[in-house]
Structures are given as C-alpha cells and as structure tokens.
Amino acid sequence: MKIGDMDHGYQNTGRTHFGTNPQQLVTHSFCDRASPVSPVTNIGAYAPFVHHLKDDPNMNSLQRKAQVKLNTMPWFHGKISRDLAEDLLTPKENGLFLVRESTNYPGDYTLCVCYLGKVEHYRVKYKDNHLTIDDEEFFENLSQLVEHYQNDADGLCTQLIKCLPKKGKQEFCIDTKSFIDAGWVIQEHELQLNETIGKGEFGDVLLAMYRGEKVAVKMLKDSSVEAQKFLTEALLMTSLRHENLVELLGLVLNEKHLLLVTEYMGKGSLVEYLRSRGRLHVTKKDQINFANDTCSGMEYLEYRKVVHRDLAARNVLISEAGVAKVADFGLAREENYIVDAGKLPIKWTAPEALRQGLFSNKSDMWSFGVLLWEIYSFGRVPYSRIPLVDVVKHVEKGYRMEAPECCPPEIYEIMRQAWDLLPERRPTFKDVKIKLAQLKAVTIN
C-alpha cells in the first residue's frame, strides 16, 4: 500500500474542515480550550465527569436509555510541536508513538512513531469525512485509526507497539455508534419540524411534533466550536434524569445536520417569564416555586457531582404547568473542575472561578444566589450600575447587591450566604432546599 503525505514541514494551506457527516462530528479528543484548534468536534475535557457521576438509586435501568460511554485516548497529546513530540518520544524504542494536532495543517493530526532511532511523522488528514493516512484505509475516528495500526503496520515504518501516555488529564473520544447503541437516536421522519421559537447557543430552536407530543429541537449551526458544546450537552444529558431538569429525548444524526430533541417548555425562559409578566402577574407563590424547583434540580446535580457552570434565569425554563427546570448543560463538568476563564458569564460566576478557573458545586451556589436575585427583582439585570469589567473587583472588595424590593429577608439571607467569598462557607443546595421548602410551605399568595 502507498503511504500518503508525511508531515515534514509542509506549508500551511490555511484549510479548515467542518465535515457535515455526524460520524465525523462526534469523534475526536476531549480537549478543554477556549478555541479548539481542531474544527471537528474536540468535545473537550468535558468528558471526565461522565466516569465520576454518582449512581442514581432513583433511576431504574429499565426506565431509561443507556448512558453513552467514552473511550480513552492516552496517546493523544493535543497541540504540541514537532520538536516537543520528538523530545517526549525518548528513548526512541521501535513502535513507541503518540498522536498530536498537526501544526502545518490545522484541523488534521500527526501520528508520530519511533523506528530505528528516528521519529517518523505521518499526516492524518480528512478525506470524504473520514480520517486517513494513505488514502486507502479510512477511519471514523482517531481511536479506530490507532487500533488498526496497532494490529498491523500496513505501510507504516513499523507497527504501533507502545503509546506514550499524556501526563495529566487524558483525552476521550466518542462516535455516533455510541449514541445509537445506547438507544438515543431518533429517525428524522419521526419529527415534524414547525416554527422557530428561539435562538439558542447552537443555532435555531424549533418547535416540533414527536410521536404526538410537542418537543423542542436544537439545530446545530455549522461551527465546530458549537458542535463541541452541542455534543457535550447531549452526552451529559444521557446520564441525568430529574423532574427539575429539562429532559433529553434523543438526537437526530444524519449527513445534513445534528438535532438535539428535548421536552418542550411552553412558557419559555424564566428571565423572560419574569420580565414579561412582572409584579402584576408573578405572585410570591410563583417566586418561591421557581426558586424551590431550580434548587431541587441543582441539588440533584450536586448529588451526582456535576457542576453546571452557567446557572442563570436565562437557562431555567418554565413548563406549561409552571414548573421550573434547569436547562443548557453545554458548560457542565465534573465536580471541582479547573478551566481557563474564557467566555464565562461574569455577573453570575463566582470570583474563584473567574480568577483561578476553579469550578465546583459551591461556585454553582454563588450563581444560584444571583438567580434568586433575578427571581425577586422580576428579571432585572444584576449589577446594572457597575461596568462589566469592574464587577469582580467590586465583589472582592465586599460589594453585594441590595435585596430587591419586597424580597423576603429569609431569601436575601440565602443570597448573602451564597455570595460568601470563601466557597467552603457557602451552603449546599441540599441545605438551601430545606430552607426553601419551609418558606414554600408558609407562602400563601
């Protein structure tokens, strides 16, 4: 067989790839970056939480589809240079290898393998929405490619014998077969797409009919960064089930697009609900119900050791029955996850998360305090008189928003506790849920 381009310092052609084949979209590494280099779904280190999720004793395996599983890729080193790869591959044992992102062809990869004291660099490129080295053998993802050459050199200088593991958090991959095998794929003919009802993080949100019921459909925009978040959200939602979390019904995967199908929340986002109805129509009972519902969903995430990272009234949806449910899990991670700040909602994010990139259920509690303020201010914008760039500085110096007009003192006390600069001094969602349940029981109108 003929081996194709070796990655030997070719000129950067400036090419980028965004394959529309979902098999391509849902594979590749979990690499946590603000701007992933690979334009083909680096579903980032969003993944490790899946392996750490605490079992839910309330979920009967017969009542749910299977959780989508991940495959580890210890040999994937991400964006490292050719020279660093050669330095890492020492001593240069025959068959020792790693995979890195191509520096000469953004979006492609390079397989680096030792043979006879040297390191050969093979370009792994996309062709016809698949990965290939030689234009003869094609693979859906990096894991399949590596496994093939571990079994047979098949034109390489040597068989892949021993991988050089990446230090620190390792990478993961997933493909559509995992969603199919777990029972999450919906056939497109089962959906009747209707009007657009909103604009989401990933693109349009449409109202649709599925098996006689109204559903919401998120349609993926043609952007790999959004594909990363889209599939991460879907992946996480396969493992979570609670009455105060928006439920995933399934995904549509075809060569045209990716669709995420969830239950339909007829009254829209909490923030718009509050703003559009105001004091005349939103009662104290409504407010405590929204707070209690949201806290209940977050208590469940806390129990499952999942951090939402983007909790705000805009990401809580209201059903036709008036039940509040937490939505938008695109940023959710495992507990105590460290990440670069990047594009974070500053007014809702805890100082330690913004400054040190440390997220936890305690940083979610900070966000919940801001969400409570939104509920009792009827959807006002937090810190409206402070420039965005100065919010963190003011907060760290001790500034706290005042209680909204007519806010019960017990609710404001929860806000103040949630906004403690020391994460360990903030209450748990379990503790707050108890207080809110007590307040709910005595709230009349």
Angle between helix 361-376 and helix 429-442 axes, rounded to 10 deg: 20
Per DSSP, the three-state class of 375 is helix
Candidates 222, 246, 221; CA nearest to 234 is 246
Residue indicated by tokens 């599983």: 69
Binding site annotation covers 397?
no
Report CA-CA distances (Å) from 248 to 31, 149, 188, 259. 24, 37, 16, 11
Burial label for 386, CB within 10 Å (0-12, 13-18, 19+), is middle
Sheet containing strand 109-115, edge to edge, reads: 130-132, 118-127, 109-115, 96-101, 162-163
What is the token pair recorded at 225? Answer: 């960064």
Residue indicated by tokens 């003869």: 136
User: Can 310 be counted among the known catalytic residues?
Assistant: yes
Q: How far apart are CA 123 and CA 109, in angstroms?
A: 6
Residue indicated by tokens 């806290």: 295
Where are the strands (E) in 67-167, listed by range?
71-73, 96-101, 109-115, 118-127, 130-132, 162-163
Q: What is the DSSP string of 247-277?
A: PEEEEEE-SS-EEEEEE--TT-BHHHHHHHH
What sign has the CA pseudo-torsion 271, 272, 278, 284?
negative
Angle between helix 409-418 and helix 429-442 axes, rounded to 10 deg: 170
- Set 175, 310, 328, 364: catalytic member: 310
Catalytic residues: 310
Which residues contribute to the annotated binding site for ATP? Answer: 218
